[in-house]
Amino acid sequence: MSATVLIRGNRNFRLILSASAASNLGDGIALVAVPWLATLLTRDPLLISLVATAASLPWLLFALPAGVWIDNGDRRQLMLRADIARIGLTLCIVGLIFSAHPLGEGHSAMPIIALALIAFLVGCAEVIRDNAAQTILPALVKTDQLEQANGQIWSAEQVMGQFIGPPLAGVLIAAGVVLPFGVNGFAFAMSALLIWLIVLPPRAQTVKQTFWPAFIEGLTWMRGSGIILQLALMLGVINLVFTGTMTILVLYAQENLALSPSGYGLLLTCGAAGGVFGGLLAPKVAKQLGMRQSLLLAMVGFVLFNLVLGLVANVLVAAAVLFVEAFIAMLWNVVTVSYRQRVIPEVLLGRVNSAYRFFGWGAMPFGALGAGALVSYTEGPLGRGTALHMPYLVGAGICAVLLAYGWRRLHFDT
């Protein structure tokens, strides 16, 4: 089935695809606007990393219980409420900007702490929305369409979230730091409207379980499926490194690459282009190489991405490696998510997906905080510029160890 046929022939898929695009436009704007706002409030890398840490901390704290809520609840309603919550929190950032005016003056840490708190609450909403969105897809498309559907959704997310959103954020920041957050709120509102229009087929199981038995059932299934747990733990290492390096990228781009807000947005757009191609081509690559070889190829790319940025400070080189990193990250996602959606029983999908993300995403706050601490600790003896390379060099070493592990231990039964 071609991409056009899937979109034209499935109203619910069109709606969730469009909602994902709108939601990720907001995420893409925030990807530049929030860390840039943080750098206007402070130049301390540790405090800046606090914002990224707070944004990813909900995956550690709430991913596991979220799975029970998603399996017991109305997944569409959960997505809708999460989008509405993000609209309100975006307006809180607007209020913070005006209350902290003029930005950068004074020595109070309260504005950056307030921004971190808002980022934490946005992250809480994203835990619910993202898990529900991933869990709901098998109810909207046929099993043999999952790779194609996931590839299309992630391509749309890359186009909006990193290809259009970041440069748009750069332009909006240049016009006024409050503007990107206004557009961000509008994007979340459009996503909420599209989710509201989805009509779900009836669930096969409607009897709700009490929290703890349901919670334990999901963890027990995941523990019994060795490959799912193995992939989750490997993803945790990847995301630990990735979140740390992306947390520092805003300072790396400003100080080592001398980029403006619009330049930083364009740099992220180069990465997004790789994600777009990855979303479109990953199903074909995975079919040709198989799951194991596809994931090993992705891990090789993760090593090279970090090593190059750790050794070289050049805008064109940085743009090229971000392109490659996004491509192979999309390959990893298409293979692993489609595999999970195919093998996990529907009645357990929310719980096991959430447990998977607990292990796979729960390490992100440690990566963000660790990268900020690493730069702060090394900038004295090494100098600021060299210190900003250190998270990438350390990340390359960690990913090399992960590659060696995957080469020896990663095997699929199907």
Q: What is the pLDDT of residues 29-51, one digit of tens each?
A: 998 899 889 888 888 888 888 89
Per-residue pLDDT, 62: 86
Contact 179, 29 (CB under 8 A): no
The reported pTM is 0.75
Q: Where are the alpha helices (DSSP H) in 44-145?
A: 45-72, 75-99, 110-136
With respect to residue 150, please indicate whether it lies within any of the assigned structural domains.
yes
- What integer is the mean pLDDT of 336-358? 83
3-state helix, strand, coil in the chain (%, to 5): 85, 0, 15
Which of 56-65, 98-107, 117-126, 349-358 has the least mean pLDDT?
98-107
- Distant-in-sequence, close-in-space partners of 325: CB < 8 Å, separation ≥ 6: 271, 274, 301, 302, 305
Is the confidence at residue 186, as pLDDT, over 70? yes
| Residue ranges making up the domain that contains 276 | 3-200+208-409
Please give the pLDDT value at position 166.
Answer: 81
What CATH number does residue 333 fall under?
1.20.1250.20
Residue 414 located in a structural domain: no
35 within a domain of the structure (yes/no) = yes
Q: Between 321 and 203, where is the model more confident?
A: 321
- Residue appearing with tokens 């900038």: 379
> In the prediction, which pLDDT does 217 show?
82
Q: Is residue 317 part of a domain?
A: yes
**Backbone torsion region of residue 201, taken as left when φ is above 0, otherwise alpha when ψ lies between -120 and 50, otherwise beta:** beta
The reply to whether 88 falls in a domain is: yes
CA distances from 354 to 128, 135, 145, 357 (A): 9, 9, 22, 5
* Cβ–Cβ < 8 Å for 138, 349: yes
* Backbone region of residue 151 per phi and psi (left: phi > 0; alpha: psi in -120 to 50; beta: other values): alpha
The average confidence (pLDDT) of the chain is 87
* Confidence tier at 154 by pLDDT (50, 70, 90): confident
pLDDT digits (tens, 9 = 90+) for 383-404: 999 999 999 999 999 999 999 9
What is the percent of the chain with per-residue pLDDT over 90, rounded to a whole number?
44
Domain assignment present for 149: yes
Confidence of residue 206 (pLDDT cuts 50, 70, 90): very low
* pLDDT attached to residue 108: 65
**Listed residue (321, 299, 297, 185) closest to 249, CA to CA:** 321
pLDDT for residue 126 is more than 50: yes
For residue 383, the tally of other CB atoms under 10 A from its CB is 10
- pLDDT for residue 1: 47
pLDDT for the residue 165: 84
Sequence-distant (6+) residues with CB within 8 A of 139 are: 75, 200, 201, 203, 346
Per-residue DSSP letters for 165-192? Answer: HHHHHHHHHHH-TTHHHHHHHHHHHHHH
The helix (run of H) or strand (run of E) holding residue 107 is none
Q: At CA 97, angle to CA 93 and CA 102, rounded to 5? A: 165
Q: What is the largest CA-CA distance in the chain?
A: 62
pLDDT in tens, 219-271: 888 888 888 999 999 999 999 999 999 989 989 999 999 998 888 888 888 88
- How many other CB atoms are found less than 10 A from the CB of residue 102? 7
Q: Does 297 reside within a domain?
A: yes
What is the rounded average pLDDT of the residues 281-285? 86
What's the pLDDT at 204?
Answer: 53
Query: pLDDT tens across 60-83, in order?
Result: 888 888 888 887 788 899 999 999
What total of structural domains would you count in the chain? 1
CA distance 123 to 71: 20
Q: Does residue 28 lie in a domain region?
A: yes
Name the region of 346 (left: φ>0; alpha: ψ -120 to 50; beta: rest): alpha
Cα gap 137→148, rounded to integer Å: 12
